Amino acid sequence: MIIIRPIRNSDYDVLHQIAVESGHGFTSLPVNEELLLSRINRATKSFHTELENCRDEGYLFVMEDTKTGEVVGTTGIETAVGLHDAFYHYHVGKVVHSSRELNIYNTVETLTLNNDYTGSSELCTLYLRDNYRVNNNGRFLSKCRMLFMAEHTARFNNTVIAEMRGVSDENGNSPFWQWLEEHFFSMDFPTADYLTGIGKKEFIAELMPKYPIYVSLLSKEAQKVIGKVHQNTVPALRLLENEGFVNRGYVDIFDAGPTVEAELKTIKTVRNSLRLKVQIGAIQSSTKAMICNTKVKDFRAVQMSIEINQIDSIAIIDQETAEALQVTNGDFVRVAKS
C-alpha cells in the first residue's frame, strides 16, 4: 500500500538521495547534510507544535510503499514564508511611454523586485521518484497537502502559493539567469540556486538591480522563458490550475518560473472535501478516494476504495485502510476525490 506520513529522522538517507535526484532548480532540498537534517528536525518540531503556538512551521511529508518500506517521494507545506529570510519575487508589470504631440504610444513590460508574498503559506518540495509515477501517485502526493490544510485550516494563512520550476537545461543553465549573471552577478545559476537553498540570500539584496527592469532589454532567450515552467513541471502546474490556482504576474528571480496563488478556502480539494465518521466494513465499490485521518503528528493519508453515506456522514472503509490510517470505528477521516 502507498501511504503518506510525516518525515522521520530515519528518512535522512533517502531524503538526501531525493535531493540529488531532483537536480538544479529544486531550491527547497539543497544537497547539504546540515540543511537536510535541519529540515527534518524543523518538520518534526512543526508536527508536534500545538495550534496555539503555531507561527511559521514547515511540514514535510513522505510517500512510502509499505510493501517494501521504501520512501518514494516528498511533499511539503510552509505555513508562513519570508518571516525570517527575505522572500523575493519579480512582478511583471507595465509602463506606458506616450507622446500626444508625436502620436506615439508604447507599452513596455517591466520586472519589479518585491516581497509581496511575505507571510503566505506555500506548497513546496514536491518530488516523486520516476518508477512510482503511476496510478495517480503524483496527484495524490500533491493533493494530500490540501487535505491536511482542509483539516487544519487554522494553522495556515489565507493566501496559498506555489513556486513552479522555471526553464533550465540538463546542466542547470537558465536563460533568464544567464542575462542577470552577465549584467549583475558573477556566479552561475546552480550556485545562486544552491546559496538560496541553504539560506544565504544576502547576495540577492546586495547585487540584484533595485529598479524595475525593462523586459525588452533582456536577451530574446530570457524574454521567452518569463512565466514558463520546466517541461517536467507542466503536470504539476496543470493540477494546481485545476485546483483554482492562478498566476498574477509573479515569477521567480532566478529562472523566471511562475508563482501561482489561491485563497485557502477556495482550493477545490479543500472546498469539496468531506469530514466523515469511520465505519469499518466490507467494500463493494471500486471507487477510490484520498482519505486522511484528522491527526497532526500521526497524520496518515491513503488512496483507497471507500463507500460514502452522505446522509449519515459516514465513510465505510475496510480493515486494511483503517489500520493504515490508524483509525477505528467512530473516528473521523477527511475524504476527497483523487
Q: Give the model's pLDDT for residue 267.
A: 98
User: Do the domain assignments include residue 247?
Assistant: yes
Closest C-alpha to 123, from 264, 266, 265, 300: 264
Same-domain check for residues 251 and 331: no
Predicted confidence (pLDDT) per residue in 206-233, tens digit: 777 778 999 999 999 999 999 999 988 8
> Which is catalytic among the residues 24, 89, 152, 230?
230
Task: Tell me how far apart the alpha carbons of residues 1 and 54 are, in angstroms, rounded to a whole number.
Answer: 32
User: Do the domain assignments include residue 97?
Assistant: no
Q: Report residue 232: phi and psi, to 5°.
A: -75, -10
Q: Give the model's pLDDT for residue 182.
A: 81
Q: Give the model's pLDDT for residue 285.
A: 81
Closest C-alpha to 303, from 289, 319, 317: 289
Higher pLDDT, 254 or 160: 160
User: Do the domain assignments include residue 216?
Assistant: no
Q: Give the model's pLDDT for residue 178.
A: 86
Task: Tell me how far apart the alpha carbons of residues 231 and 156 are, in angstroms, rounded to a whole number.
Answer: 30
Q: Give the model's pLDDT for residue 183.
A: 81
Q: Give the model's pLDDT for residue 110.
A: 96
Which grid cell sits at 274?
A: 468531506
pTM listed for this prediction: 0.90
Task: Tell me how far apart the alpha carbons of residues 89 and 228 are, in angstroms, rounded to a whole number.
Answer: 15
User: Do the domain assignments include residue 11?
Assistant: yes
Predicted confidence (pLDDT) per residue in 296-323, tens digit: 999 999 999 999 998 999 999 999 999 9
Same-domain check for residues 261 and 325: no
- List, in sequence order, every residue forming a beta bridge with 89; answer none if it has no partner: 114
Q: Give the model's pLDDT for residue 205.
A: 66
Task: Tell me how far apart the alpha carbons of residues 275 and 287 are, in angstroms, rounded to a whole number.
Answer: 18
Q: Give the model's pLDDT for residue 261.
A: 98
Task: Give me the chain's average pLDDT, please.
Answer: 91
Is pLDDT of 26 > 70? no
Contacts for 105-108: CB closer than 8 Å, 24+ residues apart: 108/214, 108/215, 108/216
Higher pLDDT, 334 or 233: 334
How far from the centroid of its chain's Cα atoms is residue 335's Cα?
Answer: 21
Same-domain check for residues 241 and 296: no
- Which of 216, 248, 269 terminates a domain? The answer is 269
Q: Give the model's pLDDT for residue 24.
A: 59
Q: What's 19's domain CATH number?
A: 3.40.630.30
Q: Could you give the residue ranges of the DSSP H alpha helices within the chain?
A: 12-22, 33-47, 137-151, 175-183, 189-197, 202-207, 220-224, 234-242, 268-272, 319-325
Is pLDDT of 250 > 90? yes
Same-domain check for residues 251 and 298: no
Residue 183 annotated as catalytic: no
Task: Tell me how far apart the alpha carbons of residues 306 and 321 are, in angstroms, rounded to a whole number.
Answer: 9
Same-domain check for residues 163 and 291: no
Nearby residues of 142 by Cβ (< 8 Å), 6 or more positions away: 75, 123, 126, 236, 239, 240
Residue 171 lies in domain: 2-80+120-175+186-200+227-269
